[in-house]
Amino acid sequence: MAEARRCQVLVVGAGPGGYVAGIRAAQLGLDTIVVEGDKAGGTCLIRGCIPSKAMIHAADRFEALQQHSAEDGHMGISVDGTPVVDMAALVSWKDGIVERLNKGVESLLKAAGADLVKGWATFTGPKSCTVEASEGEVNIEAENVIIATGSSHIDLPFMPCDEEFIISSTGALDLESLPKSVAIVGGGYIGLELGCALTKLGTDVTVVEGLDSVLAIMDKEIRRPLELWLKKHKVTVHTNALARGAEIKGKGAARKVELAFEKDGEEQSIKVDKVLVTVGRSPNTKGWGLENMGVRMDTSGRFIRIDRMCRTSVPGVYAIGDVAGEPMLAHKASAEGEMVAEIIAGHQREFDKVAIPAIVFTEPEIISVGLTPDEAEERGEDIIVGKFPLAASGRALSIEAEKTGGFIRVTARESDHVILGVQAVGTHIAELHSEFVLALEMGALLEDVAGTVHAHPTMSEAFHESVLKTLGHAIHIS
């Protein structure tokens, strides 16, 4: 016989949006159930953000060891012998991090008082669902529902992933051995992050991108150092190129994947060990009874329609994270999850963020917060722009953050000096994003940052100098 349960808050999905919502709701004294069909932590923790950054870090370490093992060493440091990648051991190390964080999320939910039910939820009505759990069927009735079902890798219908020769980002993070060659279909942030890591590990990488540039979400100036890095490291990039299909050829250990693509009106092909498909992600709106809930979709038909409080068209039903629209970022989902829990508890909240940071963990790393100069001008703003190169930063030089030609660029309104946007590119630059976001959320003026003492020697001084440059009186560049 199925177990029947009732709760004040039902959260479906324990990713970065769902588990945060569940923890916060329980902290506020609400009877909360979180349902998760896989592992707590979601795509970001289990097969996305965290494992990919672990692999990127390992690739950085391997590249550094290669430099030290070169004939003349590096930094006066030399290492005898040639470094070797044990891909299975690397993946095992990565999995250890993921497992630790997964258990941590489960412990946090329990400590807060939220009940985690593992199983697949299928909705039969707006606030009722059946969960197929290992212990048996559980029927749940809730006063409030938070949909946090996330998103999934997009398969190409003519080239579906088999996770052996044609792999998704998930497969790329679980490789048993390092492939000698990989073709990446899609030159967005996911493909390029993994492509940079594989290149550092020694794989011959080719990128096939349908648009006229890789990482098209970033402006030309900010992506230029990445394009130079790709060229320097012999990554072949085909732009305005459309994948047409892939075929497995050869026998046994000699089998290869032949990727066909069209470029400049001509059919071309390349044989590689693996084809990595990274053409985007799609919100998880099918397979769990969304059609029985009565919620409306947005004009694109892809996402659940929400307002600034993440309310759907059905009272008491909320949607957060990737399933509720762009930007499809873990930190946006977490912020929405915390907010919705507080709204259900009676707090006055709405999602009104001036800036949500976008960070690409390529080599070099790229940050974009707020408006770019072009976007500001398109909105009719009269602007001033200042740029400070990392090559002029002592700290950047000492940790080799300047080797990719990176910089920090600030855009401000000319009339009142309100900061409208900050973009940055460079090695080790991602951690500076918090100061950029804070400046925009606080409505900071250029003078506010200029008058703030930044410790020396640190990377953050480069932001201070970029603001001084915007004001016309940078100290460490002419």
Pairwise pLDDT comparison (160 vs 1), residue with the higher score: 160
pLDDT digits (tens, 9 = 90+) for 412-457: 999 999 999 999 999 989 999 999 999 999 999 999 999 999 999 9
pLDDT band at 193 (very low <50, low <70, confident <90, very high): very high
Arithmetic mean of pLDDT over the chain: 94
Q: What percent of the chain has pLDDT over 90?
A: 88
Backbone Cα Rg of the chain = 24
pLDDT band at 79 (very low <50, low <70, confident <90, very high): confident
pLDDT band at 226 (very low <50, low <70, confident <90, very high): very high
Where in the chain are the domains?
3-47+92-153+282-344, 166-279, 358-471
Q: Is it true that 3-47+92-153+282-344 and 166-279 share their CATH fold?
A: yes
| Average pLDDT of the residues in 346-355 | 94
In this model, does residue 71 exceed pLDDT 80?
no
Residue 241, pLDDT score = 97
In this model, does residue 13 exceed pLDDT 80?
yes
User: Hunting for tokens 């290492």 — which residue is that?
Assistant: 79
Exposed/middle/buried for residue 448 (C-beta within 10 Å: 0-12, 13-18, 19+): middle
Displacement of CA 195 from its chain's centroid (Å)? 15
Provide the annotated active-site residues: 456
Task: Decide if domain 166-279 falls under CATH 3.50.50.60.
Answer: yes
pLDDT band at 139 (very low <50, low <70, confident <90, very high): very high
Residue 27, pLDDT score = 98
d(CA 203, CA 187): 17
In this model, does residue 134 exceed pLDDT 90?
no
d(CA 127, CA 17): 19
| Average pLDDT of the residues in 255-268 | 94
pLDDT digits (tens, 9 = 90+) for 271-327: 999 999 999 999 999 999 999 999 999 999 999 999 999 999 999 999 999 999 999
Q: How far is CA 266 from CA 156, 247, 269, in A?
A: 21, 18, 10
pLDDT digits (tens, 9 = 90+) for 319-348: 999 999 999 999 999 999 999 999 999 999
Nearest CA among 7, 29, 10, 17 for reference residue 105: 17
pLDDT band at 2 (very low <50, low <70, confident <90, very high): confident
Question: Residue 259: how many CA atoms within 13 Å on its side-chain side?
Answer: 32
Query: What is the CATH topology of the domain spanning 3-47+92-153+282-344?
Result: FAD/NAD(P)-binding domain (3.50.50)
pLDDT band at 399 (very low <50, low <70, confident <90, very high): confident
Residue 351, pLDDT score = 94
Query: What is the CATH topology of the domain spanning 358-471?
Result: Enolase-like; domain 1 (3.30.390)
Determine how β-strand 407-413 pairs with β-strand 419-426: antiparallel
Residue 1, pLDDT score = 64
pLDDT band at 67 (very low <50, low <70, confident <90, very high): confident
In this model, does residue 97 exceed pLDDT 90?
yes
